[in-house]
Chains A and B, each alone.
Chain A
Amino acid sequence: MDFWDDGLGLSLTIFVPLIGALLVGFTSKKNEEPAKWLSLLTALVTLGITIAAALAFDYDAAASFQFGTDLEWIPGIDASYQIGIDGISLPMLVLSAFVTVLAIIYSWNHWDEPKNPKAFLILILVLAAGMNGTFVALDLILFFIFFEVVLLPMYFMIGIWGDTSEKKIPVFNRVTEMRLYASIKFFVFTFFGSAFMLLGFLALYFNSDPATFSIPDLIEQAPALGALPFAGWIFAGLALGFAVKVPMWPLHTWLPDAHTAAPTVGSVLLAAILLKLGSYGFIRIAIPVLPEQAKLWAPAIAVLSVIGIIYGSLACLAQQDMKRLIAFSSVGHMGFVMLGISTMTDIGINASIIGMVAHGVITGLLFFLAGSMHHRYHTRDMERLGGNLALMPRLGWILSFTAMASLGLPGLAGFWGEFGSMLAAYNPLEGLDEGLFRGAMVTAAIGTVLTAGYLLWMLQKVNLGKPSAEWEGHEFHDADGFEMAAWVPLLISIVALGVYPKLVFGATTPAVTELVAKAFGG
C-alpha cells in the first residue's frame, strides 16, 4: 500500500503528535530529557510527513483534494472521517508542523514558571494534532472537533504558564491574575463563536439533501443551500465562529489579553497558527458552501477588516508593553487577510493565504523575540528598555529585521499579502460595491503607514539609543544556540517567501482560482 493512499499519510499528521503526547506522558517527570527528545522527534516526523506531502503533491491538480480518505465514522449522524488536502490547506499544514518543531526547539531551555516541561510538551503536541487536524478535515463534525480541540491546550498554557501579574478587570471590578482572566476570556469567547458555528453546521446538515457533513458534498449542493430563505443567517453563524478566531474587530479583545498573558511558545503558536484557523474556515467552508451569502456579507467584512487595520495600529501606538504591542499588531495584520477574503476574488483570497503564512512566520518570530527579551530583562515595559542593539546585537538585529518584515517591507514575506489584498480591493468581485472596496483599499494603505509607525517607534524605544542606567554594566547573554535554531529557519522563510512567493502561490493559485470560479462562476 502506498503511503499516501487511503489517507494514511495525512492521518499520521494528526496521530503521530497524539501518540507522541501519549508516550511523553509515560516519561519520567524528574528527568526531562526523554520527554524533550521524544517531543522533538514526534514534531520532526510530523514535519517530515508534511514536507513529503508537499513534494508528492500533484500541483497540476491542486484544486482537488489529495491523499485523502472518507471512512464511515458516526453513522447515526452521517459524520465521516473524511480528510484530504488541496493547494489551500497544504501551505497551512506545512506551516503548522514547521512552527511546532520550532516551538519545541525553543522550549528546550526556556520554561516559563511553573516549568513542568513534560506537561507543557504534551500540550504542544495535542495542540499540533488539533491544528493539523483542522487543516486536513473535510467533514464538518471532524473540523469542529479539531477546531475545538486546540482550545484546551491553549487554555491550560495560558492559565498555568501565563503571566501572573495582577490587573483590575473592568466591570468585574476586581483585581485578578492576568493569566486567569486571559485564559477564561480566550476560552469562553472562542467557545461562544463556536456555538454559532456549530449551529451553522447543523443547519447545513439538516438542509442538505442527502443530508451530509462532507464539505466537498456540501459545496456540490451550494446552489440549493444558497436558495434557502435563511441562508444568510447560516453564513452569519459560520462567520461569527470564524471571525472570533481571526479575530475580526470588534470581536478581537480576547487576543491582546491572551497573547500578553500566554507563555512565549503559547503566543507563538497562537499567532502563527490558531488565528489562521478562523480565516481558513472562511476560505474552506463559508465561502464555497454559501457563496451568494458570502457576497452579501462581503461589504460588512471589508469594513470591519479595515476598521481592524486602523484600530489595531492605533492601539499599538498606545502600548507600553512590547508584547501587547505585538499582540495588537495581529489585529491589523489579520485585517489585511480578511480584506483579501472579503473581495471574493482569486487575487484577494490568494493574497490572504500568503498573508496568513507570512503573518505566521513573522509574528511568530516577533513573539519568540519578545519572550527572549522578557526572559533577560524581566520586563517588557518599553519605557525601561532601550539600547538592546548595543547590549545584545544578535537579538537586536533579528528584532530589527523582523519588525521590517512585519511592516510589510517588499522583498520580504509580509509584502505580498498586503499588496495583493489592496490590489484585489481595487477590483472586487463583480456586483460588489466598487466605491466601498476602493475606499477600503485607501484606508488599508493608510494603515500600512500607521503600521510602519508603531514598529519603527518600537525599534527606537527598545533597540536603539544608549542602554539606560538600569541595564548598564549588566552582562546579557545574546541569543543562544536553541534560540538561533528556532529563529534562523523563520528568518530564512521570511526571505524565501519574500523573494519567491511562488512557494505559496504555486499551490494556492490553481486551487483558489477553481474555488472562486466554482463559487461565483466565470
Chain B
Amino acid sequence: MKNRSWAFLAGGLLVALLLAGVVSNYASSHPDGLDSSLLKGCTVDADDNIVGGSCPAQQARDHELADSPLADYGVRGVRNSFVSTGLSGVLGVLVTFAIGAGGFWLLRRRGGTPTDGDATTPTEVHPATSDDVRRRADAAS
C-alpha cells in the first residue's frame, strides 16, 4: 500500500479509538429502540429496571458470557467507570480491527483480474513489484 493509504488507515483508527475510548463515556445509557419497544406494558424506574406490569422484555435471559472480563463494555476490576468504559472501547476497536483486517487480508483476491470499472487504479498483479515501481516513480518525481 502507498504511504497515503497508511496515513488514512492510521487516521481512521485514531478517530475510532477516540470515539470508543473517550466519547463513549458520554453515550446515552437508556435502552435502545428495540429494548424499549419490548418494554411496552411494563413500568420502569429511573434506572430503567422493570418495576411492574407485563411485557416481552421480561422473557430476557442472561447472556451466555455475562462473566466475560469485558462484559457490558467495562473492564472487570477497573473501578473508575470512565477508564473502564474507555479501555473496553479501545480494546474492542483493536480486536475488531485485528479480526477484520486480518480476516479480510487472508480472504483477499490475489493475482490479477481488474476490479470492475476501476480505471484509475489498476489491480496490482504483483503487489511487491508494483510497489517497487511506484517507489522508484515517487523518488524520480
Mutual binders A and B: no
User: Chain B: residues with CB nearer than 8 A to chain A?
Assistant: none
